[in-house]
Structure 1
């Protein structure tokens, strides 16, 4: 074992054998590590450019105290760490010459790593994304609900789903191509989707949900085209997909919101999704 305690591997099975119990014990703060581990197990690294991922665990006195994960060509993701723990990881990766184009995690952890990475490499961190992780308490659907109904999307809805997902990706500034050829390789492909339809059957809003991991289901994405906003459709479809995933066996639900958008944060707060923590992504010049 190295003195800093960080054990790095590209083997998912090895990583989960050592760190899986740690991650599953607190699924909400570990939501991104669990989600990407499940996605890698299901798909492998091919859809993300091939190569081996970087998977790390911090071992202290025989126990795991934190993890990191990075897919080929992507940013580094962190579970909650102390400043010293984040600093030791930055020192280790810098010594290896390992590229880190960006880092994301809860605000304090990501900031500590970014500060240490700048110290060791000279790379200047720039805050790029500010999110708010929200955890469901008691689901409180909108009352009254807007006209229409919820309907689970099926295989025949693929074109509509891709159109809505393209709109969502554009809204959040995600650089991704979504069409019939690329759909299976995107992060959008392995979700269950629900539409909110008006009484005449027109889909006006959409919510997706990831397959549950450790009992936790992440609602993502939620999207309403601009022409249909302001009618309560997003609240209604989010409540519907949340209710459905809990009825199917998930024990918890969570979602991310844009920390700078007061409208969406107020909406999810009313539905019962209380604030768990703030998250930040830094890019490095």
Structure 2
């Protein structure tokens, strides 16, 4: 493991997702303890997207932004909100110079699949429909996220392709959760990794799906055909149970003739980029922004 990251491992919490309310409270308290992000040079605005039910979003609009990304938080579909995601969103907007639309999609287990997917698809459609008034080029709209949010972004791309929805320029998938079956080597062997292990992932899938049978729109790794999806950037962490499903999805996209950039970060674990003092974390975050800027400006 990267020595800068390893020093923090004994200090990292492990959530007991059997109690979602407590997990959310702990997650929010940790996020609130981090200094507020620098949002100078950008407009930050809370809006409500009309849907059933309405969906809250927070827009981070840097000066001169043309493209936009519909950005989806991590947290296992269980934890997180617009406030806990402000650090990711502001940093991504600052580096990419794109408008970041952070989506407060509904959380499980109170709202199981497909509630979150419906929310995000509504925001994507709204963004495309109102692109002119939002100052966005409707041909430069991406989807992306971290962890569960990255898996949700991949699902949005699949549903949008199948239902001829708005054009998606790019997928930015950071450590995506894609496969409920948990059969890969990394899923079977990483049973005690920092922040995220096999048991945690089992719990989040149980909360997300309930008794509903999984479909490709819930678990994109189950999709039989990946042709025609938007170009993608996929990043994976070495000591992450999700590692191999991300790598496999990237290979399958390539085999379906979808352009893909895959970056496997050695010495890292799931969510370790939150340890901002580590050089590898700074490089990961800088790359996400640079990749998005190149995809939307190209």
Give the TM-score of the pair, scaled to structure 1: 0.29
Higher strand residue share: 1
Larger radius of gyration: 1
Query: Which fold has the larger relative contact order, with Cα–Cα distance below 8 Å and residues 6 or more apart in sequence?
Result: 1
State TM-score, norm by structure 2: 0.28
